[in-house]
Amino acid sequence: MKELAAACSDSREDFRNDGYLIVRNLLDSSETDLLRQVARTDMAITAGRSARADGEGGAVELVVENELQQDDLLSAIVRAEPLVKMMEWLLEDEVYHYHHKLILKEPRTGGAWAWHQDYGYWYNNGCLFPHMASCMIAVDRATPQNGCLQVLRGSHHMGRIDHMKCGDQTGADPERVSAAVQRLELVPVELAPGDGVIFHGNLLHRSDQNRSSDPRWAFICCYNTRSNSPIREGRHPLYSRLDRIPASEVAACGRRHLERAGGA
């Protein structure tokens, strides 16, 4: 995993202003290959997939996990010291694992995600503040053609927006989204495999259906801050100290995971 120099350039200021930060080559090529192999060959992972209708005739498949495991590549990435330190530097607090998930947009069938804020959901889980962020890592190349992430630059400054049902999903208030689209820059987040994008819990984001012949899978690590531990038990966990690992252990953990899953 790439060593993320927190003090480099103006990354924290960019994150504060824009609500997101792209990190190229967050995973190196060997780690990215391991992530792709694990995601596609570990039947224990893919067996847990569920689908969310998008209200546009498609559905997004995803796998959500609240617990971290030993000798599990997905857990190792969540716990990797460089990523954890970067999240803490951006959020200015100790962070812990809130949950992680795989987004599985299959060729020609992968559905869209409605405009939403993650904190639009997480507020209802008992989190008092939007002091939360996620890191999406591209398993496959992400392009506008296969339904890459889209963000409204700076939309996190709008604060939490009311959300409502949209198919099986929950989307942000369409009236406010429509106004925001007119005033803010819409950015398609194109990523090469292994690239990452870190985005604030209040950033408005969405994605189109995958109408291409290429898959668009992504792995998302979601973090909450220690001071923002939910006020009640809910869908995702309360604060617990995150057991970090050195970046050098990520690939080794991935090889053990692949061997255990029978994909070596």
DSSP 245: B
Structural domain including 53 reads 13-212+230-261
Residue 157 has pLDDT above 60, yes or no: yes
Angstrom distance (rounded) from CA 99 to CA 92: 19
What does 75-144 look like in DSSP terms, one character per residue?
HHHHHBHHHHHHHHHHHTS-EEEEEEEEEEE-TTTB--EEEE-HHHHHGGGT--S--EEEEEEESS-B-T
Q: Say if pTM beats, i.e. exceeds, 0.75.
A: yes
Is there a contact between 48 and 60 (Cβ–Cβ < 8 Å)?
no
| Residue 6 CB contacts under 8 Å (≥ 6 apart), including other chains | 12, 85, 86, 89
Residue 161 has pLDDT above 90, yes or no: yes
Task: Decide if 8 is inside a domain.
Answer: no
Task: Decide if 79 is inside a domain.
Answer: yes
More confident residue, 40 or 2: 40
Task: Decide if 218 is inside a domain.
Answer: no
pLDDT digits (tens, 9 = 90+) for 82-136: 999 999 999 999 999 999 999 999 998 878 888 999 999 999 999 999 999 999 9
Angstrom distance (rounded) from CA 247 to CA 78: 11
pLDDT digits (tens, 9 = 90+) for 207-220: 999 999 999 999 99
Number of domains in the chain: 1
Task: Decide if 4 is inside a domain.
Answer: no
Residue 89 pLDDT: 95
Task: Decide if 225 is inside a domain.
Answer: no
Residue 253 pLDDT: 95
CATH number at residue 146: 2.60.120.620
Task: Decide if 2 is inside a domain.
Answer: no
Task: Decide if 7 is inside a domain.
Answer: no
Task: Decide if 222 is inside a domain.
Answer: no
